[in-house]
Amino acid sequence: MLMKEYIDQAERDLLHTYNRFQIVLDKGEGVYLYDMDGKKYLDFCAGIAVFALGYSNKAYNDALKGQIDKLIHTSNYYYNVPAVEAARKIKKASGMDRVFFTNSGAEANEGAIKAARKYAYLKDGCTDHEIIAMNHSFHGRTYGALSVTGNPHYREAFEPMIGHIRFADLNDFESVASQVTDKTCAIMLEPVQGEGGLIPATEEFLKQVRALCDEKGILLIFDEVQCGMGRTGTMYAWQRYGVKPDIMTTAKALGCGVPIGAFLMTEEVAASSLVAGDHGTTYGGNPLATAAVSKVFDLFEEQGVLENVREVAPYLEEKLEALAAKYGCIQSRRGVGLMQGLVFDCPVGPVINKALEKGLILINAGANIIRFVPPLVISKQNVDEMVEILTSAIDEVI
């Protein structure tokens, strides 16, 4: 079948919940993807911040092939070696104490919400506890995750949500403090908002919220699904500021392409929240997925991934700042590490489409922001190549 025939078949068979780009990707190598016709694309999307190690990493692929030949799935009624190894490594990387593996970031956030409410329930036996989330946040499409997603557009057709959710503004401590009641059990936020526009939380704000939680006996939940796993230059974004959460979620680059997420918590929360029967998953933490996680942590260390992010990210920032200075249509650059955005004064869809024609894969974050979340193994030369193509696209479209 030709590429166009596959696209037509997909449009007949798949539920139309995505406005897909009109290409069929066929293979990847390094930081490049290739479509069915053999056209080469520089990838500055990484499967939405997933493929941190790039494509066709031999050590990663071999680890998965070896596990496939050994054991793929058993269920959580039994222990398996990859899950135990992965849990040990993620605990070391995150500084957290207990791990629950899920299939996705949304499921990780669902688990975090349940853990927080169970923790509060065990204190007073009440079921009307409240969670404060941030406006413009994004935590996933399932009901609990959607309930704490701070964009009414995503929620309005699916009301009512789970209830007892309040919203405040990121980096506005007074707006958070004003939402606290004697029913508040948790405050949930992304240390760097992704879908909400590549907006980092400030160190001052995070420290103020942490102090408020400590004072009031409130749990602090960090959603590190997109901003975690090295994207900001530390394994988890909160580690840049030393503001540790009580519960943390992670996914995306955790498995570098194999679907897996996790929520983690301190020993204190683990000892007084979820117990046997409170939460479960059929596939979560299976041997194949956790073998991927275990190898990802090994390769991050062996290949100096964090060091590469810290070296290349300032160069990317410099080049994006230069673009913002060059073009009047670009209002600002924002973001941290290899999680960057350019804010335009117009819709960016035409620019992204033109860049795709020229062999560059980009995505948006809202109508007027181009998001840059490339593989964490990119080089400065890759940044130069991206800027050259993006500049040409802007010149032709705007």
Please check the confidence at residue 369 and state whether its pLDDT lies above 90: yes
Provide the whole-model pTM. 0.97
Percent of the chain whose pLDDT exceeds 90 = 99
Domain at 59-302, CATH from 3.20.20.140, 3.40.50.620, 3.40.640.10, 3.40.50.300: 3.40.640.10
- Which candidate, 262, 222, 257, places its Cα nearest to that of 242? 222
pLDDT tens-digit profile of 271-326?
Answer: 999 999 999 999 999 999 999 999 999 999 999 999 999 999 999 999 999 999 99
Strands of 369-372's sheet in order across: 330-336, 339-344, 369-372, 363-364
Q: pLDDT value at position 116?
A: 98
Is there a shared CATH topology between the 59-302 domain and the 304-384 domain? no
pLDDT tens-digit profile of 57-72?
Answer: 999 999 999 999 999 9
CA–chain centroid gap for 134, Å, is: 16
What are the tokens at 98?
Answer: 């207990």
pLDDT, mean of residues 79-93: 98
Mean pLDDT, the chain, integer:
97
- Strands 261-265 and 98-102, bridge-based pairing: antiparallel
Please check the confidence at residue 31 and state whether its pLDDT lies above 90: yes
Q: pLDDT value at position 274?
A: 96
Contacts of 17 (CB under 8 A, 6+ apart): none
Calculated CA dihedral for residues 49, 50, 53, 57, nearest 10 degrees: -140
Let me know: does 218 contact 186? Beta carbons within 8 Å.
Answer: yes
- Which candidate, 369, 353, 361, 351, places its Cα nearest to that of 385? 361
Q: How far is CA 83 from CA 48, 60, 102, 293, 381, in A?
A: 25, 16, 12, 9, 37
CATH superfamily of 304-384: Aspartate Aminotransferase, domain 1 (3.90.1150.10)
Per-domain residue ranges of the chain? 1-9+22-37+50-56, 59-302, 304-384
Binned at pLDDT 50, 70 and 90, residue 140 comes out as: very high
pLDDT tens-digit profile of 217-247?
Answer: 999 999 999 999 999 999 999 999 999 999 9
Let me know: does 245 contact 271? Beta carbons within 8 Å.
Answer: no
SS3 content of the chain, % helix, strand, coil (to 5): 45, 20, 40
Percent of the chain whose pLDDT exceeds 70 = 100
Please check the confidence at residue 398 and state whether its pLDDT lies above 90: no
- Which candidate, 213, 140, 225, 222, places its Cα nearest to that of 179? 213
Q: pLDDT value at position 1?
A: 81
pLDDT tens-digit profile of 150-194?
Answer: 999 999 999 999 999 999 999 999 999 999 999 999 999 999 999
Please check the confidence at residue 201 and state whether its pLDDT lies above 90: yes
